[in-house]
């Protein structure tokens, strides 16, 4: 068996028109557009439209799309009441997974109609931020903030979470973060969404499954672990000692290295500059500590193994979110606020793909390595004949 392909590493499973990664060159493409150009010239709503529809919108299309997103931000009051019955210390990702699945109880799901799936996508993209913000208010026993139709997708979430309207610079920084996290080909959560969608399950079920995959520390939970690392280090002068001890123990440095990129993750490039900008604005030390972590890990990896290693998206996103005053345990739900766009696009593509011939249902093959008693199987013995 070829062990390098365990876990489907490197195995093509389907065609997609949504995004592409060039791991050697460090490029991420959304529907043909370079992510670096989109972060400079676009906004999250426009990128969401692009990922769903395979092209940038016209002025009228964007205006209509933004209007529909704004109208769909509200969630049922009963859902917010039900949130109040949860433990206040419950994991926000467990909450999000449960209430995204619960949306199916409030809204119909059309199975065969592609246009109806776009409606469901808009409903999902608009409501996930409201679910997360509502939970943040409820668990802290604060009054729920209703959506503000005059604010952007990014600005409205920050407002609903904090009760304060962000300044334009903060709003733009968060908007760029949402663009960067919107899609990343067949990562674990997106593949989970597509796998569930391949059974013809509806969009809310497929997205709920994706949230479950995203919750793990090796996927969406990684930036939470990065921030824990930075807090543990505490100051720039302690970085080298901390990293060396970590590597001496054979443990990984969170936020460094990637399964696909063999050079600098393009998203990390942008987030590094956002972290630098926020540090200048706030006076916080987190950018300098993070940069020192990057430099030390690269140097140590080169010295110890003669290998190159680079930051991934999580290294600098941790400090960015922390300086935006986002609670650490909301880092991964905020990842979901953005990535739900990619999930929805992939679910629609999986259900209504016109291009790639593939079986309707994902069904990978397992390699059995369990007990073997011969071609006829093991002999079953009654309970009184088995040895104690």
Residues with catalytic function:
219, 258, 314
The residues pairing with 21 across neighbouring beta strands, listed in sequence order, are 28
Note the residue count of the chain: 388
Whether residue 226 contacts residue 314, with contact meaning beta carbons closer than 8 Å, is answered with yes
Q: Directed axis angle between helix 203-214 and helix 92-102, to 10°?
A: 170
- Using a 10 angstrom Cβ sphere, with 0-12 exposed, 13-18 middle and 19 or more buried, the burial of residue 240 is middle
Structure tokens at 190: 């997106």
Q: What angle do CA 58, 63, 67 make, to 5 degrees?
A: 150
Q: How far apart are CA 52 and CA 46, in angstroms?
A: 10
Q: Using an 8 Å Cβ cutoff, are 56 and 50 in contact? A: yes
CA distance 226 to 161: 23
Q: Which tokens go with 143?
A: 């009054």
| Structure-block tokens of residue 281 | 């604005």
Measured in degrees and rounded to the nearest 5, phi and psi for residue 34 equal -65, 135
> Could you identify the residue written with the tokens 């926020």?
278
Q: Is 385 buried (19+), middle (13-18) or exposed (0-12) by CB count in 10 A? A: exposed
Q: How far is CA 301 from the centre of its chain?
A: 27
193, 205 contact by CB (below 8 A): no
Paired with 27 in beta bridges are 22
Q: How far is CA 156 from CA 51, 153, 161, 243, in A?
A: 21, 5, 9, 38
3-class DSSP state of 311: strand
Give me Rg for the CA atoms of the chain: 22
């Amino acid at each position: 068996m070829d062990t390098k392909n365990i876990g489907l590493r490197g195995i093509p499973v389907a065609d997609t028109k949504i995004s592409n990664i060039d791991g050697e060159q460090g490029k991420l493409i959304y529907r043909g557009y370079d992510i670096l150009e989109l972060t400079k010239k676009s906004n999250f709503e426009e990128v969401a439209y692009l990922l769903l529809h395979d092209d940038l919108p016209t002025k009228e299309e964007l205006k209509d799309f933004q209007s529909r997103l704004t109208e769909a931000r509200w969630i049922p009051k009963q859902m917010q009441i039900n949130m109040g019955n949860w433990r206040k210390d419950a994991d926000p990702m467990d909450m999000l997974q449960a209430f995204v699945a619960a949306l199916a109880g409030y809204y119909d799901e059309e199975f065969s109609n592609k246009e109806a799936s776009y409606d469901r996508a808009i409903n999902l993209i608009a409501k996930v931020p409201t679910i997360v913000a509502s939970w943040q208010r409820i668990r802290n026993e604060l009054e729920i903030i209703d959506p503000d139709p005059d604010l952007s997708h990014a600005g409205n979430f920050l407002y609903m979470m904090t009760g304060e309207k962000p300044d334009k610079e903060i709003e733009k920084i968060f908007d760029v973060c949402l663009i960067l996290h919107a899609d990343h080909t067949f990562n674990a959560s997106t593949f989970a969404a597509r796998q569930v969608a391949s059974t013809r399950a509806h969009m809310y079920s497929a997205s709920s499954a994706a949230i479950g995959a995203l919750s793990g520390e090796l996927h969406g939970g990684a930036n939470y672990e990065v921030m824990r690392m930075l807090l543990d280090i505490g100051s720039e002068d302690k970085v080298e000692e901390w990293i060396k001890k970590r590597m001496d123990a054979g443990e990984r440095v969170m936020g460094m290295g990637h399964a696909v990129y063999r050079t600098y993750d393009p998203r990390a490039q942008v987030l590094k500059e956002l972290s630098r900008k926020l540090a200048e604005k706030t006076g916080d030390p987190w950018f300098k500590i993070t940069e020192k972590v990057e430099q030390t890990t690269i140097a140590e990896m080169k010295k110890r193994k003669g290998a190159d290693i680079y930051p991934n998206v999580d290294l600098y996103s941790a400090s960015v979110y922390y300086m935006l005053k986002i609670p650490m345990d909301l880092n991964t739900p905020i990842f979901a606020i953005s990535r739900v766009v990619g999930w929805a696009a992939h679910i629609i593509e999986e259900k209504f793909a016109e291009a790639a011939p593939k079986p309707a249902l994902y069904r990978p093959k397992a390699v059995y390595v369990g007990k073997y008693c011969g071609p006829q199987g093991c002999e079953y013995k009654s309970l009184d004949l088995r040895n104690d």
